[in-house]
Amino acid sequence: MANAHESTLPGGHAAAHGKAHDDDHDPNLQHHFYSMDQQLEASTLGMWVFLVTEVMFFGGLFMAYLLYRYWYPMDWAAASNHLNVVMGGLNTAVLIVSSLTMALAVRSAQVGSWAGQVVNLILTIIFGTVFLVVKYFEYAEKFEHHLVPGPDFDPTLPRQQQLFFSLYFIMTGIHAAHMVVGIGIMLVILAMAWKGKFGPKYYGPVEVSGLYWHFVDIVWIFLFPLLYLLGAHFSTAAH
């Protein structure tokens, strides 16, 4: 009787009903979802909604940057000349490669490659850690040269340039905090992948965490030229 009932379902509904019935036995399916596909779609949508709030948050900082850049173009470019373009460029390359390894980790989970998941997640964590280490040395350099806003800021530099460094530390500091959170998430995902939790039927956590990682990388892709490359342009114009 059950088979006869399924045969009366229009179109491909019988197959979908059978798939949903199979998903009922999947231990990774949460009780409030009808199928694994629905669970993945809901998780992905939730992450996109969260990322929209992040876009609005960083958007406010970018707007403040653009306004001050418009009001004080020469001071902004001169202050940018104190940033280490080599370190910033290195971190840009590191994050671009980390996005690649993250994408490979997601693909490995989708095809059920345990080794691919583990190796690429480890590489992603390593690249994220390298980014933070480089950022540490860059910050240390700013403290050494008294370029940190506050009572020890170099008194020979105009106050407009202190505004630049205030935004520099706010924007890059918040970004670095997001990177720390991302590494923590990747460690959890790595532990789950190591236990063989992910495969073709269940890879949602890897994909969703990958969206977060890519977002953090994209934010830096905008920060690097806006903050670091003004100095090179200023030096060229000065000559």
Burial class (CB in 10 A: 0-12, 13-18, 19+), 227: buried
For 65-116, what is each residue's pLDDT tens digit?
999 989 998 988 888 888 999 999 999 999 999 999 999 999 999 999 999 9
Q: For residue 93, what are the contacts with CB-CB under 8 A and spacing of at least 6?
A: none
Question: How far is residue 57's CA from residue 160's CA, in Å, rounded to a whole number?
Answer: 24
Q: How far apart are CA 178 and CA 171, in angstroms?
A: 11
Tens-place pLDDT, residues 197-228: 888 888 888 999 999 999 999 999 999 999 99
Q: Is the pLDDT of residue 18 over 70?
A: no
Among 66-80, 122-136, 185-199, which stretch is predicted with the lowest mean pLDDT? Answer: 66-80
d(CA 179, CA 220): 10
- Residue 130, phi then psi, degrees to nearest 5: -60, -45
pTM score of the predicted model: 0.81
DSSP symbol at 79: H
> In the prediction, which pLDDT does 1 show?
42
How far are the Cα atoms of 1, 24, 202, 234, 236 from residue 198, in angstroms, in the given order? Answer: 36, 17, 5, 50, 52
Q: CA-to-CA distance for 17 and 29, rounded, in angstroms?
A: 15
The pLDDT score that the predictor gives to residue 154 is 80
- Chain position carrying tokens 């965490």: 209
Q: Cβ distance 219 to 178 under 8 Å?
A: yes
**How far apart (Å, rounded) are the C-alpha atoms in residues 127 and 220?**
14
Please check the confidence at residue 2 and state whether its pLDDT lies above 50: no
Between CA 108 and CA 29 the distance in angstroms is 20
